[in-house]
Structure 1
Amino acid sequence: MTIKRFTLEEANALLPQLKAELGRLQEMSEELEEQYIAYRMMKASYKTTKGDPLFELESKLDFMQVEFNLHMDNFSRQGVLVKMITPGLLDFPAIVDGEEALLCWREGEDRIAHYHGWNDGYAGRRRHPDA
């Protein structure tokens, strides 16, 4: 598998589109969680006697999960790593100063200005030399 590598300019150019996609992903995640909680509460209080009236809700949850996974896959297909949905945290594989690195964007930042090593994580963020 080939890993796409981004320049700082490429990653920042893609950021507006990704912010919108991330917003939709956050909405879907919240809705999925709310529906799952409602389902669990309904299931806990329901006494099954005949048939399965929860089937419709289970099917809805399954469909929501598939849709959510498809949206997550959109990031992967573009070569972007979703590290956290809320708050949004995205990583872009790159080469910085000749080394493998991840350009790092956190929700609330206007643009990508930091990077870290593959094993350093968010705590190891450093300012990008071209930012």
Structure 2
Amino acid sequence: MEKTHLSLEEAEELITKIKPSIIKLMRINKVLLLLKSVRIEYDDPHMSMTYNLRKKKKLYKLSYDFYNLLDKLHTQGCLVRDLNRGEVDFHSMFDGREIMLCWQISEKNIRYWHEADGGRETKKPVSMLIKIRKRLI
């Protein structure tokens, strides 16, 4: 599958559509982590087997839902970076080079970007891109 490059405007429009999915992914992730951490032992082997089967069934169902949703977001051009903080990157192009537009679930708009080969620690304000684009026009 080819990368989907989005303009700033396209990525911001997509935010309203993907936000419920990101929230759902965050919730599923928390439940998966919780389920994986729970260990219950029974004296009766039958009860232990019944519990373990049901737990694994729930884990697999949630994992399936999680990866289906993650794949759907990926095909829309979203790169989920951190589910604990709800961080998502969008592939974009600027001045002939690939960049990543950064968004966090707590933000209304995309506020930062970074070079595709850089990293989130090198992110810069998106207002910088807007100023450069205005000068180029």
Q: Assess if the C-alpha contact under 8 Å between 2:73 and 2:79 holds in 1.
A: yes
Cα distance in 1 for partners of 2:111, 2:95 equals 14
Shift of 1:47: 5.0
State the secondary structure of the residue aligned to 1:130.
Answer: helix
Summarize the Cα distance change of 1:116–1:22 in structure 2 as closer, same or farther, 3 Å threshold: same
Q: Which has the higher helix share?
A: 2
TM-score by length of 2: 0.83
Q: Please state how far the C-alpha of 1:56 moved relative to its aligned partner.
A: 1.8
Residue 88 of structure 1, CA deviation: 0.8
Letter of the structure 2 residue corresponding to residue 105 of structure 1: W
Contact 2:4 2:75 in 1 (8 A): no
Please report the TM-score for the alignment, with normalisation by the length of structure 1: 0.86
Matched length:
127
Equivalent-residue separation in structure 1 for 2:118 and 2:55 (angstroms): 41
Following TM superposition, the consecutive aligned residue runs of length 4 or more in structure 1 with deviations greater than 6 angstroms are none
Identity %: 24
Q: Provide the C-alpha distance between the structure 2 equivalents of 1:119 and 1:14, rounded to a whole number of angstroms.
A: 23
Once the two structures are superposed, residues 73-93 of structure 1 have per-residue CA deviations (whole angstroms, 9 ceiling, x without a partner) of 111111210011111111111
Unaligned runs of 5+ in 2: 132-137
Structure 2: distance between partners of 1:49 and 1:127: 58
Which residue identity is paired with 1:62? Y
Please list the CA deviations of residues 46-77 of structure 1 after superposition, one character each: whole Å capped at 9, or x if unmatched: 35745822212211111111111111111111
Match for residue 18 of structure 1?
18
Q: Deviations over 1:84-119 (max 9, x none)?
A: 111111111111222111111123222013211122
Number of the residue aligned with 1:52:
49
Matched, 1:37 2:4: no
User: Which runs of no fewer than 5 residues in structure 1 stay unpaired?
Assistant: none
Q: RMSD value over aligned CA atoms?
A: 1.8
Letter in 2 for 1:109: E
Output one character per residue of 1:16-66: Cα deviation in whole Å (capped at 9) or x when no partner. Answer: 12111111111111112222222xx11xx3357458222122111111111
Tell me which residue corresponds to 1:69: 67
Q: Which residue of 1 aligns with 2:117?
A: 119
